[in-house]
A and B are shown apart, each in its own frame.
Chain A
Amino acid sequence: QRYGASQQHSLREQGECRIDRLDALEPTNRIQCEAGVVESWDPNHEMFQCAGIAVVRHIIEPNGLVLPSFTNSPQLTYIVEGNGILGTVIPGCPETFQSSQQSQFGPQFGQGGQMRGGEGQRFQDQHQKISRFRQGDVIALPTGVAQWVYNDGNRPIIAVTLLDVTNNENQLDINPRRFFLAGNPQDEHEQGGQQRQGRRPQQRQLGEEGQQRGQCNNVFCGFDARFLAEAFNVDLETARRLQNENDNRNNIVRVEGGLQVVRPPREHGGRGWEEERERERYGGGRYDVN
């Protein structure tokens, strides 16, 4: 109850919740991305200020990948339409989805990041668990847990997300903030190009050797590329790619040829979503089959 709850309390004291009229609102901000659209409702509207929430809607085209990001508050998403894949990054959790037999430490890289032979050649990929979602699903994500979404269906995904910015888990201010781990996206909660209240205008920092950097918004942009090169043990050029300078795809990008990730088959032995649903309905649970 460090900031969020007290902030909400003070808002109420200031009369922010003395609303004498409620309105039905359409999204007020729209960001066109390479493979979709991000729409948001003005978080500064008194209704949202009173409730301490923000709302955003994603429309993700087939083969659209929502780049990894996390938020400063817990979020609850409802899938209005479509189906796809959700990947989450939970610190401390192992990479339990593996594509082949591999060494304990994955592929072997020598100095300068050169891949060695042997075990590395057998290695394909491993990552944290991913899951499928479909129309009607509710997805809950804690604060700070990074997520990515991919539309592997043949129709757009429409997802509405509530961000509970006055939740106790958020110790920042009540501005909804999305921290992008990749890409060069626009802030989905900035209204009509306006900066959020109290925020400084965008001021791109000088990169290494004092050179002016291009437009860049993800969290790696603020680090010196030399730090990144050391941290990832890669060459400077690869490290700079993390910063996605001048990438104009925004945060939903198109994956040509479809995204190949390690995942269980969509249907196995004739079992589809409907059958799974039946089993869940009658108490079988989703994980009862060994």
Chain B
Amino acid sequence: GLEETLCTMRLRENIGDPSRADVYTQQAGHISALNSHKLPILYWLQLSAEKGHLHRNAIMVPHYNLNCHSVVYAIRGSARIQVVSDDGQTVFDEELREGQLVVVPQNFAVVKRAENEEFEWVSFKTNDNAMVNPLAGRTSVMRALPDEVIANAYQVSREDAKRLKYSRRETTVFSSNESGGSFSERRAEA
């Protein structure tokens, strides 16, 4: 049965084509993920990948990888990247330029911002079904918390707690030039 299973197993999948992006915003950029659901052999390898593209001045929201490390390799352009450890210490705060890479350990929070040019990267992730938890935006940790928990945790008013929850309505990437009020994220059309 090997010839029907192993030998015919798909080994290749393209994540460079923006028309197949999983996250797409016209103003900010796009992201494509490749996990074992899309390419089953990754289940064996326990690895996955992500390709991202940020327009100039665009930001990928602060987030952390729940179940894997991530190796971020800059394909084109440069971005300022900050990585924060469990004790709130900035362990990386530099520009990542084309040809360089940085390892982001599991659960360490990270934010990327394309500076004066577009930034393209590929991330290799050490889990076949890598999961990301955003800290800001529509699908973030902050949205999941009751506003009273936010108000008591950060010692802010309920009004400010609501702002922290709802002011950023994009999910993953956004342009810092925007007011943030528009909901422009949508899937790319093939």
Given A125-B146, A177-B86, also A143-B168 (CB < 8 A): no
Asked if residues A219 and B109 are in contact (CB atoms below 8 Å), the reply is yes
The contact of A223 among B87, B111, B144, B181, by CB within 8 Å, is B111
Q: B163 to chain A: which residues have CB within 8 Å?
A: 109, 113, 115, 232, 234, 238
A70, B144: Cα distance in complex, Å: 14
Task: Let me know if B168 and A232 touch, CB within 8 A.
Answer: yes
Q: Do B153 and A67 touch across chains, with their CB atoms under 8 A apart?
A: yes
Q: Is A148 an interface residue (CB 8 A)?
A: yes
Query: Is B16 interfacial (CB 8 A cutoff)?
Result: no
Do B156 and A238 have beta carbons less than 8 Å apart?
yes
Tell me the complex Cα distance, A218–B86, Å: 7
A205 in contact (CB, < 8 A)? yes
Q: Does B22 contact A (CB under 8 A)?
A: no
Using a CB-CB cutoff of 8 Å, which residues 55-90 of chain B contact chain A? 59, 61-62, 64-69, 82-90
**Interface residues in B, total, Cβ within 8 A:** 68
Assembled-state Cα–Cα distance A220/B156 (Å): 15
> In the complex, what distance in Å separates the CA atom of A221 from the CA atom of B88?
5
Whose C-beta in chain A lies nearest to the C-beta of B158? A125
Interchain CA distance A238-B136 in the complex, whole Å = 14
* B29-37, B115-123, B125-133 - the one binding chain A: B125-133
Minimum CB–CB distance for B140 against chain A, Å? 9
Docked Cα-Cα span, A142 to B90, in Å, equals 25
Indicate if the CB atoms of B145 and A89 lie closer than 8 Å: yes
Does B187 interact with chain A (Cβ within 8 Å)? no
B169 contacts A by Cβ under 8 Å? yes
- Indicate which residue in B67, B90, B109, B164 contacts A238 across the interface (CB closer than 8 Å): B164
Q: Is A127 a contact of B143 with CB atoms below 8 Å?
A: yes
Say which one of A8-16, A90-98, A155-163, A272-280 lies at the interface with B: A90-98
Query: Which A residues lie at the B interface, using CB under 8 A?
Result: 2, 65, 67-68, 70, 72, 87, 89-93, 95, 97, 105-107, 109-111, 113, 115, 125, 127-128, 130, 142-146, 148, 150, 169-172, 177-183, 187, 200, 202-205, 216-224, 227-228, 230-234, 238, 241-244, 247, 253, 255, 259-262
Closest 7 CB pairs of A and B: A222-B84, A144-B66, A221-B88, A233-B180, A182-B153, A233-B167, A128-B144
List 26 A–B pairs whose Cβ atoms lie within 8 Å, in order of A's numbering: A72-B86, A87-B149, A89-B144, A97-B146, A109-B181, A128-B145, A143-B107, A144-B64, A144-B133, A146-B144, A148-B153, A150-B149, A179-B86, A182-B150, A182-B153, A200-B89, A217-B88, A221-B89, A231-B59, A231-B111, A232-B142, A234-B160, A234-B164, A238-B160, A238-B164, A262-B146
17 extra interchain contacts, Cβ-Cβ under 8 A, other than A91-B133, A234-B167, A260-B148?
A93-B144, A105-B169, A105-B183, A107-B162, A110-B179, A127-B143, A128-B144, A187-B87, A218-B88, A220-B135, A221-B89, A232-B168, A233-B167, A238-B160, A242-B164, A247-B155, A261-B148
